[in-house]
Amino acid sequence: MVLVFGKLTFYEHLVPVSPSFFPELNDLTKKDVMIFFPDDQLLNDERLLPWLDKQPYSTLILDGDNDVYKRYINSEKIRKFNGSVHRISESVYHAADSSVFRFGNLKILILNIGRLLHISDNYFFEMNRAMIKNAFKSLKRNNYKVDYVVSILPPRYMAKRFSGLYQNDLHSQYINKIARCCKFKEWYFSYYDEDLSFGRFHNTHRRVFDLGGQVFINCLNGDEEIDNYP
């Protein structure tokens, strides 16, 4: 099973991906994977990795912003899920590239391209160019067909449908090209601070999606309620 959760800033917002909130998660094993998008502030919290390692599932981290990738650039790189990842701890991994990953029978295009924080960050631009180039190569090897796509940014043309005030992240234009040439069932991203869906495109904020199966709709209405959850 592959699950997707949204972008996180605070340790307390991990509540929805804990078995105490969703008892169904108790049935998972380390062969199951939770994908989510922590930003650098959350990753500075020393409680995070021990908490994640205690969960029944494994965790795959994508970049909530461009500072996240820099954190792991010198970490051990291994092959896992048919892709390249950084091993962060016993059961926590960071996507080291953008490519088609395999989770059991599922082919999932992981686009680990974070939102731009520092417009003058040349390393960020060079890294994302390499990520995008590899994503196209990987798609070509898979005949431009996958089951699902997971990214932090939505395609540019779809972002306009979700919000009238569209923030023009430069690399979303390349993601736009990927969306045009790739065949997929559903696309999951975490760009806006609310849960939204439009056709096959889903912005996940406080929902937990089981790719190819059940959608766990969070019964809490927002971060304030999560903060007060026992």
Phi-psi region of 68 (alpha: psi -120 to 50; beta: other; left: phi over 0): alpha
Kindly state the average pLDDT of the residues 9-14: 82
Q: Which residue has the higher pLDDT, 164 or 125?
A: 125
- Cite the DSSP H helix spans in 37-170: 40-43, 48-54, 66-72, 122-141, 156-162
- 17-51: pLDDT as tens digits: 888 878 888 889 999 999 988 887 888 889 999 99
pTM (whole model) above 0.95: no
In this predicted structure, the answer to whether residue 228 has a pLDDT above a threshold of 60 is no
Q: Which residue has the higher pLDDT, 115 or 9?
A: 9
Cβ–Cβ < 8 Å for 131, 99: no
Note the pLDDT of residue 226.
Answer: 47
In this predicted structure, the answer to whether residue 89 has a pLDDT above a threshold of 70 is yes
Cβ–Cβ < 8 Å for 209, 225: no
Q: Tokens standing for 99?
A: 């490519």
Report phi then psi at 32, rounded to 5: -85, 150
Q: Which residue has the higher pLDDT, 129 or 209?
A: 209
Note the pLDDT of residue 223.
Answer: 52
Q: Is 220 exposed, middle or buried (0-12, 13-18, 19+ CB in 10 A)?
A: middle
Query: What band does 230 get if pLDDT is binned at 50, 70 and 90?
Result: very low
Report phi then psi at 26, rounded to 5: -65, -20
